[in-house]
Amino acid sequence: MPDRPLDGVRVLDLTNVLAGPYCTYHLALLGAEVVKVEMPGRGDLARQLGPDPALNRAGLGASFLAQNAGKKSVEIDLKAPAGRSVFSELVTHADVLVENYRAGVMRRIGFGWEELRALNPRLIYCAITGFGQSGPLSQAPAYDQIIQGLSGMMSVTGTPSTAPQRVGFPVADTVGGLSAALAIVAALAGRHHDGEGRMLDVSMLEASMSAMGWAVSNYMVSGVEPEPMGDQNATAAPSGTFETADGPLNIAANRQEQFETLCRLVDRESLITDDRFADREARKHHRAQLNDALNEALRARPAAEWETILPAAGVPAARILTVPDAVDSAQLASRGFFAELPFPPGAPSAAVTRANGRLRVSGSGVLVDGEQLAPASAPPALGEHNAELPDLLRRWRTPSHDRLRAV
């Protein structure tokens, strides 16, 4: 893809683990030049995180590889005079700086918003924290599970007998990273009009609460406290996971015509005229009886058959896949969602051999002009671009060609 939306945008990435790196990964996919500034000899903690001990020891943990492709890595000690000098010059010519330290850390080391703005009035500075830069929890440590618990997310996950449960992937980190990326792109667009930098204070807790949508609004607007419902949809019925001859099947017959079509296709037309299931509210009230009737009918065929029959008639339905099955799905393959890259320098030979020499990483889920946004390069080894830093500085001193820089 020769021209990406953020081509020419220069990003300093001081982030660790997931929320921040996920944010800057999306900026890199959109075309930004992302320079990852890492602590000498240590780097991003995610370099030591993942299921493969050999990769972890090499500083290339799976958690790191997943969201750092397309970036450069330079080691700079922000507490040493020489490192501070180099970093200050990078800031002077950067468009965006992203960090996810605890609130106040950047200020304590002399690079708070006031100092950064003095170096570069056009800088977009994004700070991602668990709770934001202010408030009684601003200094509390926060990881994804802490945010899931405090947001109420865990209270509505699981069944009445198993809740509270953690969502099976770090959703609070992910949502925080996406919120940050959206805010950065909006700030760049705003700067195009007024020439001003922005300080973006991203709270993972608030981003998670915003993403919870109906669960929060149903309580605030209607006074209805959300409850864990397992695999059922509180807003409609039949909508949830059902039993087939050989495994589970998700069905979301949320509209009246979908419900009626479903009943006909599973040979249970009598349900359509049953007063208990006459409309959405009645079906929600008698959900258990309706589910029992549909499960009995759906057991007549395997899930794959229903997955063909029901969507063809306009009823949303699909099997529940494992992660390996989802990764290998024809739909994702047809869109080119996964990119194949070389492994970074220093990757253990066993890991490279196991993957047939290619590292697969996720895309963004967005096609631009019909093309998938794939990373431009492999995830970097720690300090892989140290030797290129003088050239990078010389290049950054030259005004960027980025269309969003000029006012």
C-alpha distances out from residue 351 to 55, 65, 164, 347, 381, Å: 7, 12, 36, 7, 15
Question: In the beta sheet, which residues pair with residue 73?
Answer: 36
Question: What are the DSSP calls for 45-81, one per residue?
Answer: GGGG-SS-HHHHHTT--HHHHHT-TTEEEEE--TTSH
The residue ranges of DSSP E strands in 206-310, in sequence order, are 239-243, 248-252
The CA dihedral of 181, 214, 102, 96, to the nearest 10 degrees, is 10
Q: Which of 95, 144, 173, 402 is catalytic?
A: 173
Whether residue 128 contacts residue 181, with contact meaning beta carbons closer than 8 Å, is answered with no
Q: Identify the helix (H) or strand (E) that includes residue 349.
A: helix 349-354
The two structure tokens encoding residue 138: 């601003």
Catalytic residue check, 173: yes
Whether residue 262 contacts residue 207, with contact meaning beta carbons closer than 8 Å, is answered with no
What is residue 319's three-state secondary structure?
Answer: strand
What is d(CA 204, CA 152) in angstroms, rounded to the nearest whole number?
13
Question: Which residues are part of the catalytic machinery?
Answer: 173
